[in-house]
Structure 1
Amino acid sequence: MYKTEICILGAGPGGTTAALHLAQMGISCLLVDRAVFPRDKVCGDALSGKVVNELRRISDELPGLFSQQEEQLPSWGIHFVSPGGQKLSVPFKYNYNRDVDSPAGYISKRLHFDNFLVEQVKQRSEITLLEGVELAKYEQLSGGGFILSGKEGEPQVEAKLLIVANGAQSGFARHVAGLQQEPEHYCAGLRAYYKGVQDLDGDNFIELHFFKDFLPGYFWVFPLPGGFANVGVGMLSSAISSKKINLKKEMLRMIETHPELQKRFANAELVGDIKGYGLPLGSKKRSLSGDNYMLVGDAGALIDPFTGEGVSNAMISGRWAATQAALCLQHQDFSASFMQAYDKAVYNRLWKELRLSRQMQKLLNYPWLFNQIADKASKNQALAKTISCMFNDLDLREKLKQPSFYFKLLFN
C-alpha cells in the first residue's frame, strides 16, 4: 500500500495541473488514474485562451511546446450562427495577424492534449504516477485522511489529503462530498468524429449553431488536424427530459436535413462511434472541499454553462488546489474550515464568469434577441469588436446582464 501526504485522483488536465504545480514547489504527490495513457476522453476538444494561460502558469515554455505538437490546430475565433441564420464571427484577438500573433486557442483531441500533460508529469521526480489503477472505495480515518481501496476492497493508498480530479462521474464527489446531478445544472452532450466536412474555416474558427428547432441546445463543428472535425450537440438535461428529445436522432436529423449542414456533410464520413457524456455545469455554487479533500474541475461541477468548456476551469481549480495543499502541509491543518480558503479562491476567480455564462445560457430562450444582435454585429465593426472583447474581458461581459445594453444594441 502506498502512503502519501497528497494523493490526486485523476490525471486529466485538473489533476496533472495540480501535480505539476506541487512539483514546482518541491512537494511530492501520488497521481492515480484508472486509465493507461494515451486514452480517449469524450469532449469538444477546443482549448481556449484560458488553457494557454494556465499552461504558461505551469511553465513559460509549455505553450510553445504544445504549439509544436502535430496533433493540434491553432484556432483564431468562434462563429456563432443564430436561430435566424445570421453568422456572427468573434475572433479571440481582434485584428489578429496569424503570421505574427501567437494563437489564443487551439483544437486538439483530448487523447493528445491530456497525454501531453501526462508526459510533463513523467518528467518530474516529485510525482509518482500510477496508471491503470482504479480506486473505487474511500474510507475516512478518524484521525484524518483516507484509505483508498480497489473494487474488491483491497487497500491501495493511504493519504492525508485528497485532490479529487476524476471527472464528471466521480464516485467520491457523489458518495463522500454529496454532490448530486441536478437536471437544471447538468448538460448532456454527444460527440462524433467526421472526415471530409466541407467549408471548414480557413483560420480554424470553431462553430456553434443555434438552430431554431433545437433550442435551447446547440450544434457544434470544430475542425481538427488531418481533415477531421469534432461534431456534436449539447442540451440541458431538464430540456431533454421535458421535450422528450433523443439527442442522437436529433443530431443525425440535423446533419441529414438541415440546409446549412446537408451540403457540407454530403461527402463526409463518420469515423468511429457517436459517444455521449455528461457535463455538470457551474451554474450554481457548490461546496468544493471538506475534511482532508478538495474537488477539482468536473468533479466539482465547474463547467462553463454557456460554452460547455471545462478544461480551463479544471486547470484553474487544479492550480488553486495545489496552492491550498501547500498551505495545509505548512500548517498541518487539513480541516474543512481551513480548506474553505480553496473554495473562496476558486470562486473568486470563476464565479463571476460562471454566473454571466448562466445569463447567456438563458438568452437561448429568446431567439429573436439573438437574431437581432447577430444581425447588427455582422454589419457594425465597432459592435463586433465589443462582442469579441466580451469573451476575454469580464468587465465587458458584465454588460450582458444589463437591459440598457440590449436597448442600445437594438435601437442605436
Structure 2
Amino acid sequence: MTAHHHICILGAGPGGATAALHLANAGQPCLLLDRAAFPRDKVCGDALSGKVLMELKRIDEALPARLGALPAQVPSWGIDFFAPNGRRLAIPFKPQFDKATDRPAGHVAKRLDFDNFLVNEVRQRPEIDFRENVDVARTERTPAGGWQLFDKAGNLLAECKLLLVANGAQSAFARQVAGHALEPDHHCVGLRTYYRGVAGLSPDNFIELHFIKEFLPGYLWVFPLPNGQANVGVGMLSKTVAAKKINLRQRLDEILATHPALAPRFAQAERLGPVRGFGLPLGSKRRALSGPHYLLLGDAGSLIDPFSGEGISHAMVSGRHAAVWAAQAVASGDFSPQFLQNYDKAVYNRLWQELRLSRAMQRLLNFPSLFNIVANRAANNPTLAETLSAMFLDLDLRERLRKPSFYFKLLFGGK
C-alpha cells in the first residue's frame, strides 16, 4: 500500500479535512489518513462558532447552508455568560438578529455528525486520496528529506515530502518530534456528557457558559443539541486541577445537584451515556507550528482558545493556511524550516491577538469580583458586549485592539 506523495495529512478532523479540501480546490493532490472510520465520536463541546461558518464558506460558498440543512444540528444565535454573582450576560452572535431572515451565526452539532459532514465533502474530491482505519504508529525522516509513515507492524504505509500533522491533542508527533510538552499552565482538562430533558434551554439555542464562584477558575457549559438533548461539561486548567486535587467528575455531579440555578433545571433530566474526559492544549503560549518537512495543525499545534476552549475554528484556520503554504512549498521545492515558518507567521497573524485576549479573560477567572464587574459593565456597555460577540465571530478584532480609544471605551463605557 506504499504511496509516494508530495503532501500527506495525518488526521481527518476539521483541521486535516479543511487543509485537504483547500488543496483540492487548488488542484493539489494529497493523501489523507485517519486511524478511525467515519462517522466516529470525538469528545468536545460541540459548538460551532461563526468563525467555523466563515471557514466553511472559504472552502465552498454552499457549505454553511448545507450544514444548516442537516437535521443533526441546531442553529445557535448567541452565548449566555453567567457571572459568579449569577448575572446573566446575553451576547448575541449578531446584534439585533432576526431568525426569520438572518442566516444563523453559529450551530451546535455533535462532532460525530460535524466531522462526518466534512469527511463527506472530502470523499467527493478526486484530488484527495482518503484512507480510513489507517493507524500511523511511527514516522521517520527519509535521507532525502521528507517522511516515511509506518503501521504498528512496521510496514511502510506512505512516503511524502511534506507532512501535515492534524491528529489531535494527543498527537505523539507534536510531543516527540515537534517538542510540544504538556504544560499544566497551558493545558485544560475537560469532561463532557450528554443529557436529555434539561429545563430552561434558550429558545434561540444560546450556548451557556457558567462561571460558578466555588468552581473558578473553571467553568461549566450547557450547549443545546437537536432532539431535546444538551452537551454538558466542565473545563479547568490542568495546573489548578493538580494543585487543588480537584475531582472534576465529582464536582460536575455536585454542581448539577446543588447549584441554586442549575439543580432545578437538571432535576428531571436524564444523563445519556458516560462522562468522558479530554485534554486541551491551549494557545496561551506561542509555540513553533512547523519544522523540517512538517506543519502542525489545530489541536496538534496547541491552538485551542484559552477562554472558551473552542478549537474547531482555529483548526480550520490553520488548515486553510497550511494548504496555502504546503502548495507553495511543493511549487518551490522548498520544505526547509525557514520557508515553512511562513505558515507559523500566517496562523499567528490571524489568531495571536485573539489568543492573547482570551488568555487575559482566562486570567480574570482568578478574580471573581473583577469578573462580576466586567459582566455588570458589559450589560450596560455596548462596546464590551460587541467585543465579546466579535470573539466568537470572524470579525477582525485586531484593528480594534490596536486603538487606545478602544480600551478607554471598554473600561469606561461609551458607544
User: TM-score interval w.r.t. the shorter chain?
Assistant: over 0.9
Question: Match for 2:31: what amino acid?
Answer: L
CA shift digits 1:146-183 (9 cap, x unpaired): 11101121111111110000000001111111111100
How many positions carry a matched residue from both structures?
411
Q: Whole-Å Cα distance in 2 between the matches of residues 373 and 342 of structure 1?
A: 35
Contact between 2:219 and 2:236, CA under 8 Å: does it hold in 1? yes
CA shift digits 1:53-81 (9 cap, x unpaired): 00000001111111111100000000000
Find the counterpart in structure 2 of residue 74 from structure 1. 75
Q: Whole-Å Cα distance in 2 between the matches of residues 398 and 225 of structure 1?
A: 40
| Cα distance, 1:261–1:169 mapped onto 2, change above 3 Å | same
Contact between 1:194 and 1:269, CA under 8 Å: does it hold in 2? yes
Find the counterpart in structure 2 of residue 232 from structure 1. 233
Find the counterpart in structure 2 of residue 65 from structure 1. 66
Name the SS of the counterpart of 2:227 in structure 1: helix
Q: Whole-Å Cα distance in 1 between the matches of residues 44 and 315 of structure 2?
A: 13
Contact between 1:192 and 1:231, CA under 8 Å: does it hold in 2? yes
Name the SS of the counterpart of 2:266 in structure 1: coil
- Which residues of 2 match residues 11-410 of structure 1 at below 5 A? 11-379=12-380, 384-385=385-386, 387-389=388-390, 391-392=392-393, 393=395, 394=397, 395-396=399-400, 404=408, 407-409=411-413
Does 191-200 or 364-373 show the bigger shift? 364-373
| Cα distance, 1:27–1:406 mapped onto 2, change above 3 Å | closer
Measured after TM superposition, the shift of residue 199 of structure 1 is 0.4
Contact between 1:82 and 1:371, CA under 8 Å: does it hold in 2? yes
| Cα distance, 1:161–1:384 mapped onto 2, change above 3 Å | closer
Tell me the TM-score normalised to structure 2 length: 0.95
CA shift digits 1:246-271 (9 cap, x unpaired): 11000011001111111000010110
Does 166-175 or 387-396 show the bigger shift? 387-396
Measured after TM superposition, the shift of residue 373 of structure 1 is 2.6
CA shift digits 1:110-166 (9 cap, x unpaired): 000000000000000010111001001011012111111011211111111100000
Contact between 2:77 and 2:104, CA under 8 Å: does it hold in 1? yes
Q: Whole-Å Cα distance in 1 between the matches of residues 64 and 147 of structure 2?
A: 36
Measured after TM superposition, the shift of residue 400 of structure 1 is 11
Contact between 1:389 and 1:396, CA under 8 Å: does it hold in 2? no
Question: Match for 1:189: what amino acid?
Answer: G
Q: Whole-Å Cα distance in 2 between the matches of residues 136 and 366 of structure 1?
A: 44
| Cα distance, 1:26–1:108 mapped onto 2, change above 3 Å | same
Question: Match for 2:168: what amino acid?
Answer: G
Measured after TM superposition, the shift of residue 374 of structure 1 is 1.9
Contact between 1:46 and 1:222, CA under 8 Å: does it hold in 2? yes
Name the SS of the counterpart of 2:261 in structure 1: helix
Q: Whole-Å Cα distance in 1 between the matches of residues 402 and 309 of structure 2?
A: 19
Contact between 1:356 and 1:397, CA under 8 Å: does it hold in 2? no
| Cα distance, 1:332–1:384 mapped onto 2, change above 3 Å | closer
Is there any run of 5+ residues in structure 2 with no aligned partner, and where? none
CA shift digits 1:251-306 (9 cap, x unpaired): 01100111111100001011011000000000011111111100000000000000
Question: Match for 2:412: what amino acid?
Answer: K
Q: Whole-Å Cα distance in 1 between the matches of residues 86 and 404 of structure 2?
A: 21
Does 381-390 or 124-133 show the bigger shift? 381-390
Q: Whole-Å Cα distance in 2 between the matches of residues 321 and 312 of structure 1?
A: 14
Does 170-179 or 384-393 show the bigger shift? 384-393
Q: Whole-Å Cα distance in 2 between the matches of residues 310 and 388 of structure 1?
A: 17
| Cα distance, 1:202–1:377 mapped onto 2, change above 3 Å | same
Does 198-207 or 398-407 show the bigger shift? 398-407
Tell me the TM-score normalised to structure 1 length: 0.96
- RMSD of aligned alpha carbons: 1.9
Name the SS of the counterpart of 1:121 in structure 2: helix
Question: Match for 1:55: what amino acid?
Answer: L
Q: Whole-Å Cα distance in 2 between the matches of residues 125 and 170 of structure 1?
A: 28
Contact between 2:89 and 2:379, CA under 8 Å: does it hold in 1? yes
Structure 1 residue runs of 4 or more that deviate by more than 6 Å after TM superposition: 398-403
Question: Match for 1:320: what amino acid?
Answer: H
Question: Match for 2:364: what amino acid?
Answer: L
Q: Whole-Å Cα distance in 1 between the matches of residues 344 and 140 of structure 2?
A: 23
Question: Match for 1:170: what amino acid?
Answer: S
Contact between 1:80 and 1:87, CA under 8 Å: does it hold in 2? yes
Contact between 1:195 and 1:268, CA under 8 Å: does it hold in 2? yes
Name the SS of the counterpart of 1:95 in structure 2: coil
Q: Whole-Å Cα distance in 2 between the matches of residues 153 and 93 of structure 1?
A: 52
Q: Whole-Å Cα distance in 2 between the matches of residues 389 and 340 of structure 1?
A: 28
Contact between 1:136 and 1:171, CA under 8 Å: does it hold in 2? no
| Cα distance, 1:390–1:140 mapped onto 2, change above 3 Å | closer
Q: Whole-Å Cα distance in 2 between the matches of residues 295 and 382 of structure 1?
A: 35
Contact between 1:356 and 1:401, CA under 8 Å: does it hold in 2? no
Name the SS of the counterpart of 1:328 in structure 2: helix
Is there any run of 5+ residues in structure 1 with no aligned partner, and where? none
Q: Whole-Å Cα distance in 1 between the matches of residues 16 and 115 of structure 2?
A: 10
Question: Match for 1:377: what amino acid?
Answer: A
